[in-house]
Structure formats: C-alpha cells, structure tokens
C-alpha cells in the first residue's frame, strides 16, 4: 500500500515538473476543459445568495424548525440532498450549505479560511434566510465549522449534531498529497495537474475508501458531482482548509467546556478517516451537555450507512434544544 501511494506521489511530482518545464499552458487548457464539463454536469441545485460580496449556494426544503447541514472536506451539499435532507424535510426546514470554496460557494480570502471564518459567513447567509435558533449538523470537517458556529453565537443555536466530526487535534501528520501542497509552489504545480489528469477511477476509489467498510449507495457517484471538487479553485481551498485545520482545532478545543448547549455526537466505531477515539470520545468528555452514540461497524458516512440513527439523533437534539416537543 505504501509503495503504491509513493508511486502515485512520484507521478504527481513528475507531472508537476513537466508543467513547470514548459507545458503549463497545455495543462491549464486541459484543466479548464475538465472544469467546464464538471460545471455543466453538476450546476447549482438550490438558491445562490449574495452575502458580503460572495456567492453562497444553499438548498432549502421542508417546513418546521430550522436545521442546518454542513458538509465535510472535498464535498458539497449534494452529499446531504442525495437522501438525508429528504428524510428530514417532513419535520424540519432543512438548509444545506456549500461551504466556502467548495461546490458553488465562493472561497474566503486566503489566510482567512478558518472554521470560525466559514461559520461567520454561513451565519450571515442564514440571517438572510431568516433562520432562528437552528439545530446545526456538521459532518467531518463540517463538524469543526458547526462547533465554531456554536462557539461564536451559542445563544443563537438550539443544539448541535456532530456527525463523524473532525473536532479535536490529532496526532501525526496528514497524507502525502496535503504535505506536497502545503506551500505556494505545491499549490501552483500539483493542483493544475490533478485537475487536468486525475483519473476518474481514482476519484471513485477515494469515494469508496471514504465509505469503507460500507459501500457507496447505488447512484451516489453519479449524483455527488466529484468533478466539482477537482476544479483548481476548489482543490486549493480544500487543501488549505485541511492543512490548517489541526492548528485551528488546537485553539478551539480549550473553549469546548464552556459550550453549554445540547450536543449529539454520532460516530461510527469503524471510521478510519476521522477516528472516534481521537475525535468523538475526547469531544464528548469535554462538552458538558454531550451525548455520544457510537455505531458498531459503521465507517465515516453514517448518514448513508445508518440514516435512521442520524435522523434519531437530530430529533433528540431538537427536543433537547426545545424546538421540537418532547417525545
């Protein structure tokens, strides 16, 4: 496995060197063509708001108390509209956002892309939609943004659902791709090559690894719009956000014990992307009003692998937060 990853890394570096050696125009033209294909295949499916000079893509459905859904790294709101939002729309007004720099939401300025900055922009969009004391669900990286939202404005949040959330500093380093692109030179060379030449089969494999040990549901790959994440601007925004996340969580974690609102933490105990022992369990120990649900045998995508458990957690959070009546 390590040798295969090393080979992929060396191929990427070789292609990047080729781009620097005089083929940049060809690489950029091919990247632009693939970006255009992805944009045409996966256009916005909701409203596009103008917020502080930026476009914010949001999908709204259903009626009832407000429920905000915030997706993870390399994703977009289609991860939720594939199935989860429809399951919840009979009880909630479900508001799914594309996070800054991903999907069809504009990026924040480089260097100001922290979970706090993302939460502030989404809060401004939420205000335009007239949200009042929403329940906020954050998946994976979105869990950090949900935590930041609550830390910024705890009185404006009814409850949190942290779903496979990346919310605590982790030991060790990120993978080779993140290390290679954690510089201006890496972004400038590796990212265009990935956009231009990344095999779609490789993207499908990465999606499958994200779901492991489960498999993606039928039709997910055709619906999610993975090509949107391969656009140069989206790749750069995502890589910067993930590379900086650990340092932001180191600053956020000491603030968690002061967060006195209902929190439902749902995590698969077979998650190999964001480990429960590193994130969910320490988070539950820090939060005074946290309830932890570990799902046996479930990986990083519980809202697809065990959607009823996730819906139940949302309902519990809403009842605990006083926006749904007691059961």
Element at 160 (helix H, strand E): strand 159-163
- pLDDT for the residue numbered 292: 98
Residue with tokens 């605990």: 320
If one compares 201 and 257, the residue with the highest pLDDT of the two is 257
If one compares 288 and 191, the residue with the highest pLDDT of the two is 288
User: In the chain, where are the structural domains located?
Assistant: 2-320
pLDDT at 34 over 50: yes
Q: What is the DSSP string of 232-271?
A: HHHHHHHHHHHHHHHHHHHHHGGGGGG--S-EEEEEETT-
Token pair belonging to 315: 């309902």
- pLDDT for the residue numbered 193: 86
- The pLDDT tens digits for 255-310 are 999 999 999 999 999 999 999 999 999 999 999 999 999 999 999 999 999 999 99
**What is the C-alpha radius of gyration for the chain, rounded to an integer number of angstroms?**
19
The C-alpha angle with vertex 270 and arms to 264 and 271, in degrees rounded to 5, equals 65
- The pLDDT tens digits for 60-117 are 999 999 999 999 999 999 999 999 999 999 999 999 999 999 999 999 998 899 999 9
pLDDT at 189 over 90: no
136 vs 131: CA distance, rounded Å:
11
Angle separating helix axes 115-128 and 232-252, nearest 10 degrees: 110
152 vs 166: CA distance, rounded Å:
18
pLDDT at 13 over 60: no
Residue with tokens 């970006």: 35
pLDDT at 40 over 80: yes
Percent of the chain with pLDDT over 90: 79
Q: What is the DSSP string of 38-102?
A: HHHHS---SEEEEETTEEEEEEEE--SSEEEEE--TT--THHHHTTHHHHHTTTSEEEEEPPTTS
The SS3 of residue 109 is coil
Contact 267, 276 (CB under 8 A): yes
What is the reported pTM? 0.92
Phi then psi dihedrals of residue 314, to 5 deg: -65, -45
CA 31 to chain centre: 23
Element at 138 (helix H, strand E): strand 135-139
What is the fold, at CATH topology level, of the domain defined by 2-320? Answer: Rossmann fold (3.40.50)
- pLDDT for the residue numbered 301: 98
Phi then psi dihedrals of residue 179, to 5 deg: -65, -40
pLDDT at 57 over 90: yes
pLDDT at 16 over 70: no
Q: How confident is the model at residue 204 (pLDDT cuts 50, 70, 90)?
A: confident
CB neighbour list of residue 1: distance below 8 Å, 6 or more residues apart: none
- pLDDT for the residue numbered 70: 99
């Amino acid at each position: 496995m390590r040798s295969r990853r090393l080979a992929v890394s060396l191929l990427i570096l070789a292609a990047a060197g080729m781009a620097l050696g005089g083929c940049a125009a060809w690489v950029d033209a091919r990247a632009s063509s693939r970006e255009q294909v992805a944009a045409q295949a996966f256009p916005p499916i909701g409203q596009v708001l103008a917020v502080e000079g930026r476009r914010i893509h949001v999908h709204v459905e259903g009626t009832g108390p407000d429920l905000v859904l915030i997706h993870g790294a390399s994703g977009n709101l289609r991860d939720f509209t594939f199935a989860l939002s429809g399951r919840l729309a009979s009880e909630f007004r479900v508001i799914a956002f594309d996070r800054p720099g991903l999907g069809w939401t504009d990026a924040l300025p480089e260097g100001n892309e922290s979970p706090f900055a993302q939460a502030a922009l989404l809060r401004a969009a939420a205000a335009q939609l007239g949200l009042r004391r929403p329940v906020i669900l954050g998946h994976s990286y979105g869990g950090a943004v949900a935590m930041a939202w609550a830390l910024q404005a705890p009185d404006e949040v009814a409850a949190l659902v942290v779903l496979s959330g990346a919310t605590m500093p982790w030991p060790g380093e990120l993978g080779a791709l993140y290390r290679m692109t954690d510089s201006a030179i890496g972004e400038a060379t590796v990212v265009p090559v990935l956009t231009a030449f990344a095999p779609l089969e490789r993207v499908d494999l990465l999606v499958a690894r994200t779901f492991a040990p489960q498999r993606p549901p039928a039709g997910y790959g055709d619906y999610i719009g993975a090509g949107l994440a391969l656009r140069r601007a989206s790749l750069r925004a995502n890589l910067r956000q993930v590379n900086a996340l650990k340092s932001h969580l180191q600053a956020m974690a000491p603030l968690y014990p002061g967060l006195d609102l209902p929190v439902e933490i749902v995590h698969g105990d077979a998650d190999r992307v964001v480990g429960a022992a590193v994130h969910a369990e320490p988070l539950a120990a820090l939060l005074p009003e946290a309830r932890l649900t570990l799902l046996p045998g479930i990986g990083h995508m519980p809202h697809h692998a065990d959607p009823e458990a996730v819906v139940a957690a949302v309902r519990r959070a809403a009842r605990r937060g006083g926006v749904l009546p007691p059961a």
